[in-house]
């Protein structure tokens, strides 16, 4: 898996960073008061789904990642998925 | 959420509110001092007319553009300010930084709040004795920070951030019309009381 992610605002391209995605999911889970262990577990599972989805792709947009991640996160924690979707849209 | 994390969040919220209160009171006190020192009495009427017109314009702007279109609750504050605040708010663990964020957020919202602050300053400069400035500025700060205090109490009481954000998103039209209507009400009150009747508070 060596997909490139095109950023929504700047249209810059960068390689997919799973650690960053893990951090975003973790923050969303913690924001809805999920326990730390549970948050890490959910983040790991969702990251795995996203990596699987990226397997046969070379370039995707950051919005695609957000959409796929959010739909998978909704399975494990709908409230966290809502907060993840709202990231960057709150202020 | 862990008790310690909850406690930390509460402390950061309180520091943020203190930052907002400090900056709001400084802006009003500064504007009042400027009005006392540099606004001649014969221009008071003109100053009220300018502020009332500005309040009506800002009222219309608040009603139409306070929240950006689309999903979420993005405000019409400069994007660089918004992304800076959002980015720092996620990362801050320090009470001093939380207070500084409160100060910056007041500056970022000045395009929408400056008129009301200037009106308050003009009332203070025109009708209020110097020793009564502090309680009136304190009253303004209490009213201005009431939503923030409510939010802090809700979070401290165990309400989820997602629930509060969902309420904000669902009620954003109501909130912006209410804020705009508030500006109109202030403009009408100032027009009748200070321009037509030339009266005191």
Q: Where are the domains of chain B?
A: 3-196
Q: Structure pTM?
A: 0.86
pLDDT band at A38 (very low <50, low <70, confident <90, very high): very high
Would you list the DSSP string of A14-48? EE--HHHHHHHHHHHHHHTT--HHHHHHHHHHHHH
What does the pLDDT average to over B100-123?
Answer: 94
Q: What is the tens place of the pLDDT at every residue in A45-60? A: 999 999 999 999 999 9
pLDDT, residue B120, reads 95
B34: CB partners within 8 A, 6+ apart: B121
Residues of A in contact with B1 (CB under 8 A): 30, 33, 35
CA distance B118 to B68: 26
pLDDT at residue number B84: 85
CB contact under 8 A, A91 and B73: yes
Helix (H, G, I), strand (E, B) or coil at B167: helix
Q: What percent of chain A has pLDDT over 90?
A: 74
What average pLDDT does range B67-83 have in this prediction?
87
Q: What's the DSSP call for residue B132?
A: G
B74 has a chain A CB within 8 A of its CB:
yes
Could you tell me how many residues make up chain A?
91
Give me the residue from A79, A86, A89 closest to B160, CB to CB. A79
Q: How many CB pairs under 8 A join A and B?
A: 50
B1 touches chain A (CB under 8 A): yes
Q: Residues A14, A7: contact at Cβ < 8 Å?
A: yes
Question: Mean pLDDT over residues A32-57, rounded?
Answer: 94
């Amino acid at each position: 898996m060596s997909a490139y992610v095109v950023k929504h605002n700047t249209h810059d391209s960068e390689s997919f960073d799973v650690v960053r995605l893990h951090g975003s999911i973790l923050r969303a889970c913690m924001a809805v008061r999920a326990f730390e262990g549970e948050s890490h577990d959910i983040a790991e599972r969702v990251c795995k789904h996203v990596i699987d989805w990226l397997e046969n792709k070379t370039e995707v947009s950051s919005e695609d990642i957000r959409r796929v991640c959010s739909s998978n996160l909704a399975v494990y924690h709908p409230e966290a998925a809502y907060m993840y979707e709202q990231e960057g849209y709150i202020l | 959420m862990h008790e310690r994390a909850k406690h930390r969040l509460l402390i950061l919220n309180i520091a943020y509110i203190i930052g907002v209160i400090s900056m709001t009171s400084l802006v009003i006190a500064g504007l009042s001092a400027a009005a006392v020192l540099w606004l001649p009495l014969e221009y008071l009427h003109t100053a009220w007319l300018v502020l009332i017109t500005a309040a009506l314009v800002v009222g219309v702007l608040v009603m139409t553009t306070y929240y950006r279109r689309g999903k979420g609750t993005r405000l019409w504050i400069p994007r660089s300010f918004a992304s800076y605040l959002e980015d720092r708010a996620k990362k801050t663990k320090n009470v001093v930084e939380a207070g500084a964020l409160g100060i910056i957020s007041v500056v970022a919202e000045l395009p929408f709040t400056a008129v009301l602050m200037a009106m308050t300053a003009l009332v203070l400069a025109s009708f209020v004795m110097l020793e009564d400035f502090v309680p009136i500025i304190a009253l303004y700060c209490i009213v201005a920070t009431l939503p923030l205090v409510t939010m802090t109490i809700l979070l401290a009481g165990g309400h989820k951030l997602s629930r509060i954000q969902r309420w904000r998103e669902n009620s954003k039209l109501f909130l912006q019309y209410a804020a705009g209507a508030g500006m109109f009400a202030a403009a009408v009150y100032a027009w009748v009381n200070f321009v037509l009747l030339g009266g005191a508070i």
